[in-house]
Amino acid sequence: MVDKNTALNTGMQDGLKFDVAIVGAGISGIYTAYRLTTEGANTGSQVQVFDMNTRIAGRLESVRLPGMPTVQGELGGMRYLTSQKIVTTLIEQVFADQMEAVEFPMGDPADLYMYLRKDRCKQNAWTEAQSRGQKLLTRYYLDDDDIGFSADQLFSKVIYDVLTADPWFRENFGQHVHQVDAYTYVIELTLRQWDQVKPYLTYHFEGSPYDKRLVNDIGFWNLLKDQVSQEGYTFLSTAGGYYSNTINWNAAEAFPYMIGDFSAGAEYKTIAEGFDSTVYAMANDYMRHEGACIWSENKLLTFNRQHPQSATHRYELVFLNLRSNQQWRAYANRLVLAMPRHSLELLDQDNFFFNVNENTELNKNIRSVIKEPAFKILMGFDTPWWNELGITAGHSITDLPMRQCYYFGTAKVTDHSMLLGSYGDMETETFWKALSDDPVKFRPRATRLASQLEVEALNDVAASDTMVKEVVKELRELHGVGIPMPYVTWFKDWGDDPFGAGYHAWKAGYKVQDVMPYMRKPMATEDIHICGEAYSDQQGWVEGAFCEAEKMLQSYFGLPRPSWLPADYYLGW
C-alpha cells in the first residue's frame, strides 16, 4: 500500500538556489519531479516542488468517510481508461507493488436510471425498444430521423455524418467508419489518426452557416444544433450526463473525445487505495533523493529575470509562505508551471512573462481553453438503499441540477455505503454555489459504526444543510422512491481557487496542434514550461497531464522515453 504521509515542508528558506522549480504538486508537477530524479540524472536538491495547498495531488483527492473504512471516495478524478498507457503502466507495472488496480464498475444499463423532463426510464430503454423494432419516444421534440436514438448513438451518428460528408475524409479515412445498422455507427480511428484528421476536417453541408468551414473552427454546440436542431442538442447535452462535453468547445477536439479510443478496447479502472495513490507513489519516489523537498503552503506570487543572483540563476521566484504570511525568494534556472489556466491567471500578470503587452501570444494562448467548473458531493448512508432498486454500481443521469450520481460502494464489514450524490458541471455549479455558500452546515449524525466525534471531524468539508436537503430531494425525484438522509457528507467545488475549474476544453478556432507544443515552452529564449491537463488533448483525464509533462521532459530536459512505456504509444501533438 502506498504511504500517503509524504513529508511536506511548510517552512521557507530565503535565498534557496537550485536548478528546476516545479510549481504545482498535481499529476504533471509530481510526475516531472519523479522523472527528473528517478529516471533523469538530477539530484533531489536540484529539483524542488512548490504548492500552495496543505496537501499534494491537485485535482485528485481520495477520501474515506467514517463508518466505512474500506470504501474509497473520490472528490476529483476517479478513473482511467486502459487505453491510456502512461497512467495504466504506472499503476499496473511501475508501482504495482504499492497499489491495486481494480475495475471501475459501470453497472448494468438495465438497472440504472435516466430521468429527463420528469420522465423516468432505464438507461437501456432505447436499445430495448430498438430490439422490438420500436423507437423510444422521449419528451424531446427531435427531428424525425433522430427519433429513437439513444444519446450515445446520436453522438456517433452526428460524428459519422460530418466525417463522411467531407470528400477528403472519405478518400483518406473512409475505411475506418461504418454504419452497422440503423442505430449503430462505428468509428475506429486511433488518436494518431484523429490528429491527422482534426486540423483538416471540413464541414460540408450546403446551406448551413458553417458550410466549408474547418470543423476545428466550429463550436460543438453550433455543430450539434446544425445537425440535430436545438432540441436535439438539449437532448444530447442532458442525456450525456456532462454539460461540459457539449458546451461550445472545439468541435474537432470533441469528436474523438465523444467517441473514445476504440482501437484499444478501453475499459474504466481505478485504484483500490484511491486514485490519488498515483501521485503519492511518485512523490515518495522523488523524496528518496537527497535534498528533495515539496514546499507546501507556499504560494508563488511572481518570478523575475532581473535580480541579484542573475549571474548564476536565471529566475528569482517570490513565494508567500501561507503559515507565516512572509515572503521569501528562491533562485532557479528552469521553471515548470504545472498548473491549469486559472492558477496561471492568479500569478502576477505584470511580470516579464505574463505581461499582455509584451507577450500577446502567450496571453492569447492561455485563454485558448475554457474553464469548466465541476463539483462533487459525497454522501455516506447507513445502508445502500439503491440495492433495493436493483442497482449495485454505475451512474444514473438526470437533467435536475444534480445531473449524475455514482453508486460508489458498500463497506465490506459493514453495510454503510457511499454515494457520489451529485456530480455536476458548468451551469449547475452556480445552482449549488448559492446553497454551498450558506453558513449553516449539514449536521452529521453518529451511527452504530461512526462516532459523533468522527463525523464531526468532517465539519469543515461538509455540504451546507440546504444543499444536502436539495440533493436528497432530487435523488428522490430521480429514483421515484423515498430516500433516507445521509449521516455524513463531503463537498468539493473545483471551481474554487486556485484551480478555477474541474477540467478544461479547447475553444473553437485555436490551432490546437500549435498551441499544445507552444505551451510546453512559450518563449524560445526562456526556460519556462507550462504543462498539465488544461492544455492537453485529453482534458478531464490524468493521462492528458501525463502526456504533456512527458513531451516537455523529452523535448526540453533531455529525458529519453521511459523504458516502461510501450514503444508505439502515441503521446499526441
Q: CB 303 → ligand LYS: shortest distance, Å?
A: 31
Q: Indicate the residue among 316 and 429 with the shorter CB distance to ligand LYS.
A: 429
C-alpha cell at 477: 425525484
End-to-end CA distance of the chain: 35
In Å, how far from its chain's centre is CA 466?
27
Of 500, 492, 496, give the one whose Cα is nearest residue 342: 500
Q: Indicate the residue among 409 and 444 with the shorter CB distance to ligand LYS.
A: 409
Q: CB 397 → ligand LYS: shortest distance, Å?
A: 12
Q: CB 371 → ligand LYS: shortest distance, Å?
A: 11
Asked if 374 and 402 count as a contact pair (C-beta separation under 8 A), the reply is no
Q: Indicate the residue among 123 and 321 with the shorter CB distance to ligand LYS.
A: 123
Q: CB 525 → ligand LYS: shortest distance, Å?
A: 35
Q: CB 266 → ligand LYS: shortest distance, Å?
A: 12
Q: Indicate the residue among 23 and 542 with the shorter CB distance to ligand LYS.
A: 542
Q: Indicate the residue among 50 and 510 with the shorter CB distance to ligand LYS.
A: 510
Query: Amino acid letter at 382?
Result: D
Asked if 287 and 44 count as a contact pair (C-beta separation under 8 A), the reply is yes
Q: CB 490 → ligand LYS: shortest distance, Å?
A: 17
d(CA 550, CA 546): 6
d(CA 14, CA 321): 11
Q: Which residues are near ligand LYS by CB under 6 A?
A: 79, 242, 244-245, 372, 503, 540-541
Helices (H), 348-464: 360-366, 428-436, 452-456
Q: Indicate the residue among 138 and 368 with the shorter CB distance to ligand LYS.
A: 368
Q: Indicate the residue among 79 and 314 with the shorter CB distance to ligand LYS.
A: 79
d(CA 315, CA 19): 10
C-alpha cell at 24: 504545482
H helix or E strand, kind and range, residue 30: helix 27-34
Q: CB 373 → ligand LYS: shortest distance, Å?
A: 11
Asked if 221 and 510 count as a contact pair (C-beta separation under 8 A), the reply is no
Contacts 24+ apart (CB under 8 A), 358-361: 359/522, 359/523, 361/518, 361/522
Asked if 436 and 471 count as a contact pair (C-beta separation under 8 A), the reply is no
Q: CB 394 → ligand LYS: shortest distance, Å?
A: 12
Residue nearest to ligand LYS (CB): 540
Q: Indicate the residue among 255 and 503 with the shorter CB distance to ligand LYS.
A: 503
Q: Indicate the residue among 79 and 329 with the shorter CB distance to ligand LYS.
A: 79
C-alpha cell at 272: 483500490
What is residue 160's three-state secondary structure?
Answer: helix
Q: Indicate the residue among 79 and 213 with the shorter CB distance to ligand LYS.
A: 79
In Å, how far from its chain's centre is CA 96?
23
Q: Indicate the residue among 314 and 342 with the shorter CB distance to ligand LYS.
A: 342
Asked if 501 and 369 count as a contact pair (C-beta separation under 8 A), the reply is no
Asked if 255 and 159 count as a contact pair (C-beta separation under 8 A), the reply is yes
Q: Indicate the residue among 532 and 540 with the shorter CB distance to ligand LYS.
A: 540
Q: CB 232 → ligand LYS: shortest distance, Å?
A: 19
Of 18, 60, 27, 196, give the one whose Cα is nearest residue 550: 27
Separation in Å, CA 318 to CA 28, 53, 73, 553: 22, 16, 36, 24
Residue 333's φ and ψ, nearest 5 degrees, are -100, -25
Asked if 549 and 338 count as a contact pair (C-beta separation under 8 A), the reply is yes
Helices (H), 180-276: 191-197, 220-239, 251-259
Q: CB 364 → ligand LYS: shortest distance, Å?
A: 22
